[in-house]
C-alpha cells in the first residue's frame, strides 16, 4: 500500500513538471502544412502559379458586380445548384452581374478530368494550379485577388467572394451596393469583433502564437462571403505581399491586410453566417445564408419567389427564436467552435 502511494506521488510530480515545461516553453502544435519553420512570405507561393482554366472572355464585358464562388474541385453538385438558382441571372436590377467559380487543383485525376469537362460546357470556371485544401485557403484568396486586380479593375464596380455552400439573395445585395455612397474603400460582410486566436488545436480555427502573437485579431469579416469595391482588391493584394501568411484567410485579408491598407470593414446585418431554416421568413430577409446543401438551395430559391410565401412574410419582423437559436448554436457542428463574436 505504502509503495503504491509513492508511485502516485511520483507520477503526479512528473505530470506537473511536464505541464510546467509545456507552459513555459510555449510548446504548440503546428498548423497542417504550415509549421513553425515554413516560409510565410506569400509572394513566394503565388508568383509562379498558372491559371490553367480560365473563361475565354474573362473580364471582357463590363458590369457592376463580379462574383467569385470559391469552390473545391469535387463540389460539382454545389456549383450546379448555384448555376440553376441564385447565380442564374446575369442582369439584376438592370445591372450586369458576372458569376464565376474559383477552384484550386485536386490530386484526384478523375475529379480533374470532370472539372475540365464542366468548364468546357459552362465556360464559368477558373482553376489555379495549387493544391486546394482548407489550410491553403489564404493562398486561394491571394490568387483570386491577384487575378481580379490584374485583369478586372476597370471592368466592374464591386467584387464579391462567396463560398459554394452559401445562398445569396442577389437582388438584395445589388440594391445595397447601389446605395453605397462611396465607390472606394468599401469592404462589407458579417463582422467579427474582439475575437481572440483559438488555442485549442482540435478547432478548425486553431491559431498558434507563432502564426499570430496578438491577444485579439483586428475586426474582420467572416470568410463565408464578403464584398468590396474594386480598388480594395488591389490594396489587399499589395498588403498581403508585406504581411506574413496566416492560414485563416478571412482574418488575414479582411482583418490584417485591410488594417494595413487603411480600410475599415463594415457589417451588413442581412449577412448571416448561420444555419437558417427553410420555413423561416428569414430566408426572405437575409442576403446570405450558410450550410446550404444543393437541395436546400433549390428549395429556398423557389420559396422566395412564391407569392404566398412572400405574403406570409411581408409583416415579418426579426424576433429571437429560442428553438432556432438552440439548434444553430448546439446542433450545427461548426458553430460549436465558438469563434463568433458577431457585432
Ligand atoms: C476520385 O474521385 C472519385 C469521384 O469523386 C471517387 O469515386 C474516387 O474514389 C476518387 N479516387 C481517389 C483515389 O480518391
Ligand atoms: C498548398 O499548396 C501547395 C502548392 O500546391 C502544396 O504543395 C501544399 O501541399 C498545399 N498545402 C496543403 C496544406 O494542402
Ligand atoms: C449615403 O448618404 C446618405 C445621405 O448622406 C445617407 O443617408 C445614407 O445612409 C448613406 N448610405 C450609406 C450606405 O452609407
Ligand atoms: C509579434 O509578431 C510581429 C509580426 O510578426 C513581430 O514584429 C513582433 O516582434 C512579435 N512580437 C513578439 C513579442 O514576439
Ligand atoms: C517577400 O519576398 C519578396 C520577393 O522575394 C520580397 O520583395 C519581400 O520583401 C518579401 N516580404 C517579406 C515580408 O519578407
CATH at 139: 3.90.550
Label residue 255 by pLDDT band (50, 70, 90). Answer: very high
In a domain, 341, yes or no: no
Shared domain check, 280 and 240: no
**8 A C-beta contact, residue 161 and residue 226:** yes
**Atom from ligand 5 closest to the CA of residue 42:** 1
* CA 13 – ligand 5 centroid, Å: 47
Cβ-in-10-Å burial (0-12, 13-18, 19+) of 97 comes to buried
Assigned domain for 309 exists? yes
Residues 174 and 230 in one domain: yes
With a 6 A CB cut-off, is 334 part of the ligand 4 pocket?
no
Average pLDDT over residues 231-251: 97
Ligand nearest to the CA of 113: 1
213 lines ligand 4 (CB under 6 A): yes
The answer to whether residue 125 is domain-embedded is yes
Residue 217 is placed in which grid cell?
485579431
Pairing of strands 288-290, 271-275: parallel
pLDDT score, position 328: 60
Is residue 16 one of the residues assigned to a domain? no
One domain, residues 72 and 122? yes
Residues 11-21: tens digit of each pLDDT:
777 777 777 76
In this model, does residue 73 exceed pLDDT 90?
A: yes
- Closest ligand to C-alpha of residue 112 is 1
What's the structural domain count of the chain? 2
Distance CA 109, CA 34 (A): 25
Q: Which of 335, 328, 337 is nearest to 203 (CA)?
A: 337
Chain-centre distance for alpha carbon 208: 20
Q: How far is CA 124 from CA 57, 120, 173, 313, in A?
A: 10, 9, 21, 34
Amino acid at each position: 500500500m505504502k509503495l503504491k502511494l509513492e508511485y502516485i506521488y511520483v507520477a503526479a510530480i512528473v505530470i506537473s513538471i511536464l505541464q510546467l515545461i509545456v507552459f513555459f516553453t510555449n510548446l504548440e502544435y503546428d498548423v497542417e502544412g504550415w509549421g513553425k519553420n515554413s516560409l510565410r512570405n506569400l509572394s513566394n507561393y503565388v508568383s509562379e502559379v498558372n491559371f490553367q482554366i480560365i473563361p475565354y472572355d474573362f473580364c471582357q464585358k463590363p458590369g457592376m458586380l463580379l462574383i467569385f464562388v470559391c469552390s473545391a474541385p469535387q463540389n460539382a453538385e454545389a456549383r450546379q445548384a448555384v448555376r440553376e438558382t441564385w447565380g442564374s441571372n446575369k442582369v439584376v436590377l438592370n445591372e450586369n452581374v458576372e458569376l464565376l467559380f474559383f477552384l484550386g487543383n485536386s490530386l484526384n485525376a478523375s475529379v480533374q478530368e470532370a472539372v475540365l469537362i464542366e468548364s468546357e460546357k459552362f465556360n464559368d470556371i477558373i482553376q489555379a494550379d495549387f493544391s486546394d485544401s482548407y489550410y491553403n485557403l489564404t493562398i486561394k484568396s491571394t490568387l483570386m485577388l491577384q487575378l481580379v486586380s490584374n485583369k478586372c479593375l476597370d471592368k466592374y464596380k464591386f467584387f464579391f467572394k462567396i463560398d459554394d455552400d452559401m445562398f445569396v439573395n442577389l437582388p438584395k445585395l445589388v440594391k445595397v451596393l447601389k446605395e453605397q455612397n462611396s465607390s472606394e474603400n468599401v469592404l462589407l460582410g458579417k463582422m467579427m469583433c474582439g475575437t481572440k486566436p483559438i488555442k485549442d488545436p482540435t478547432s478548425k480555427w486553431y491559431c498558434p502564437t507563432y502564426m499570430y502573437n496578438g491577444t485579439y485579431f483586428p475586426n474582420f469579416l467572416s470568410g463565408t462571403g464578403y464584398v468590396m469595391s474594386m480598388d480594395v482588391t488591389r490594396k489587399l493584394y499589395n498588403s498581403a505581399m508585406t504581411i506574413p501568411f496566416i492560414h485563416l484567410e478571412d482574418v488575414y485579408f479582411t482583418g490584417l491586410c485591410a488594417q494595413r491598407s487603411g480600410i475599415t470593414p463594415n457589417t451588413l446585418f442581412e449577412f448571416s453566417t448561420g444555419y437558417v431554416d427553410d420555413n423561416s421568413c428569414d430566408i426572405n430577409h437575409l442576403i446570405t445564408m450558410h450550410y446550404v446543401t444543393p437541395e436546400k438551395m433549390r428549395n429556398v430559391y423557389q420559396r422566395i419567389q412564391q407569392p404566398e410565401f412572400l405574403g406570409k412574410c411581408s409583416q415579418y419582423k426579426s424576433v429571437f427564436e429560442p428553438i432556432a437559436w438552440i439548434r444553430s448554436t448546439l446542433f450545427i457542428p461548426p458553430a460549436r467552435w465558438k469563434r463568433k463574436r458577431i457585432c
